[in-house]
Amino acid sequence: MDREPITTDEMRSLELNAKYLGISHSLLMQIAGREVARVITDIEEVEGKSITILSGLGGNGGDGIVAARYLDEAGAMVSVFLLGHEKTITNEDTLANWNILKNLQRISISSLKTESEVKSCKAIESADLIVDGLMGFGLHSKLREPLLTAVKMVNKSKAIKFSIDMPTGIDSDTGDIHGDAIIANHTISLHATKIGLTKAQKFAGKNHVVTIGIPREASYTCGPGNLIPFNRPRSSSAKKGDSGRILVIGGSDVYSGAPALTGMAALRTGSDLVSIFAPEPVVPAIREYSPNLMVASMGTQILQPEVVEIALEMVTKNDVVAFGPGLGTHPETEVAVKSLVAKIVESGKPLVLDADGLKAIAFSSVNLNPDTVVLTPHWGELKILLYADIGDSKNMENRIKRATDAAVQYNCVILLKGPVDIIAHPEGNYMLNRTGAPAMTVGGTGDVLTGIIASLLSRGGTAFQAATAGAFLSGLAGELAAHELGDHIVATDCIEMIPAAFSKF
């Protein structure tokens, strides 16, 4: 099976998104255990052979426990040893499958809770085959006892060794060895090879990649897995500004609400500080929206070229720029936008460009950066960006193609808003987001999306990751608001539901 190696977070994302699509972790575990047994029985004649399965307390251990039933069915003499007390099993599906083994007489089960109990386990030394289901992927620290002793005991055994996903002791991202590692004859990689395995091949033996039932759609449908890079708890030593300083440049002599909504959405998404740089006529109104927003005046009626240098000074003091909400389309504003966008991109600051900002760059030759820049057009704005007849707006294949065309033309990430959002990268990768509700056609929800993406960008992810997670989060917040209020929501209702959307999974 020809799949590119993946990281720990990418695998976790796929599993979560598969669950979001209805494929439970329990089902994946059943398939994984069956596939582990299949590989073993394809390689070795197991009838009458002694097989020792060492299982950890998490999902990897559950895969090994499921495999025990299939290996028993194939005629092997199977013994399963849990490394730790069953009361400390951390995965509910692993516990369920462990309890199944309690009902079976043919499969021997025991718990090895201490280093001395592991050392006295004769089954490790005498086994014909050993299945390593101790850790799998996700190890990033030194092995603790009794796992370290178990690894050493396995390596001393003359048994043929099969590791599930990763030989225990190897970091699944870096390939580093954490204290010691099992030297496997075979590694059975679930769904795809973990990238750390490619850096520690002398421990892997022969690698066998098996499918476990993760649908292809889990790789291109936005889901809770895409929140993983952005939903980690803050450090206890965190200080003000560590979670993001966002600059919103927007507003005009007419529009005050759009930049305020973007800023408040960024705060609710988790940013520490939000500054808004707006024309003088709307500064008082924006200040009235929330005392949490820091508002600075351009000193002009609209964004004009003479304001660009002042704006750039503010850019240097912030982590991400959200540019465009409510700017208007005055010719002087368009000149200022083109100049400012070019200089922001040159500085390397991440940028989310929306609304009137998109129209200003539509006929320019600006070259953006797909690692740091997101444009968020709807279909009408995309037509302006591409300056062409772009065909049927309801045909999904056409929408994907046109979003990708724009990503290539502007060399950035495009988030094409619609009933199904499309996030496109110039390299051809794309994601589809299906969260959202019809009630979100209300004005201001696009400004909320811009604020969410800007906040996520400040946490170090790529533009593609932030746009993908932002689309999912924004749509889900809208769904939650609509669930409570029906078709009577406003943009601020969506903002208030952002924390609930984060905590839903």
Q: What is the pLDDT of residues 248-277, one digit of tens each?
A: 999 998 889 999 999 999 999 999 999 999
217-247 CB burial, b ≥16 within 10 A, e <16: ebbebbbbbbbbbbbeeeeeeeeeeebbbbb
Q: Could you tell me the two tokens for 260? A: 């305020």
Q: Enter the pTM of the model.
A: 0.94
Task: List phi, psi (to 5°) of 151.
Answer: -60, -45
Say whether pLDDT at 161 is over 90.
yes
CB atoms within 10 A of CB 496: 14
Residue 27 binned pLDDT confidence (cut-offs 50, 70, 90): very high
> Hey, what amino acid is at 40?
I
Distance, in Å, from the CA atom of 381 to the CA atom of 362, rounded to the nearest integer, reads 9
DSSP state of 121: -
Integer CA distances (angstroms), 230 to 400, 455, 458, in order: 26, 10, 10
Segment 390-408 mean pLDDT: 97
Distance, in Å, from the CA atom of 470 to the CA atom of 476, rounded to the nearest integer, reads 10
Distance, in Å, from the CA atom of 377 to the CA atom of 136, rounded to the nearest integer, reads 42
Distance, in Å, from the CA atom of 339 to the CA atom of 343, rounded to the nearest integer, reads 6
Distance, in Å, from the CA atom of 296 to the CA atom of 7, rounded to the nearest integer, reads 42
Integer CA distances (angstroms), 442 to 381, 382, 437, 493, in order: 17, 20, 10, 11
Distance, in Å, from the CA atom of 406 to the CA atom of 398, rounded to the nearest integer, reads 12
Q: What is the gyration radius of the CA atoms in the chain, in angstroms?
A: 27
Distance, in Å, from the CA atom of 168 to the CA atom of 176, rounded to the nearest integer, reads 11
Kind and range of the H or E element at 270?
none
Say whether pLDDT at 366 is over 90.
no
Residue 322 three-state SS: strand
Convert the pLDDT of each residue in 302-343 to its tens digit: 999 999 999 999 999 999 999 999 999 999 999 999 999 999
Segment 22-37 mean pLDDT: 98
Integer CA distances (angstroms), 387 to 80, 288, 324, 364, 406, in order: 65, 39, 19, 11, 10
CB atoms within 10 A of CB 500: 13
Number of H helices, E strands in the chain: 19, 16
Residue 236 binned pLDDT confidence (cut-offs 50, 70, 90): confident
Segment 404-413 mean pLDDT: 97
Residues 25 and 12: beta-carbon distance below 8 Å: no
Residue 1 binned pLDDT confidence (cut-offs 50, 70, 90): low
User: Residues with Cβ < 8 Å from 288, sequence gap 6 or more?
Assistant: none
Domain boundaries, the chain: 8-219, 243-503
DSSP state of 235: P
pLDDT of residue 390: 96
Residue 496 binned pLDDT confidence (cut-offs 50, 70, 90): very high
Segment 215-231 mean pLDDT: 95
Give, in words, the CATH class of 243-503: alpha beta
Segment 471-480 mean pLDDT: 98
Residue 235 binned pLDDT confidence (cut-offs 50, 70, 90): confident
Task: List phi, psi (to 5°) of 278.
Answer: -135, 160
> 229: cis peptide before it, omega within 30°?
no
Q: What is the CATH number of domain 8-219?
A: 3.40.50.10260
Residues 149 and 128: beta-carbon distance below 8 Å: no
Say whether pLDDT at 175 is over 80.
yes
Q: Could you tell me the two tokens for 426? A: 């110039």
Distance, in Å, from the CA atom of 36 to the CA atom of 51, rounded to the nearest integer, reads 13
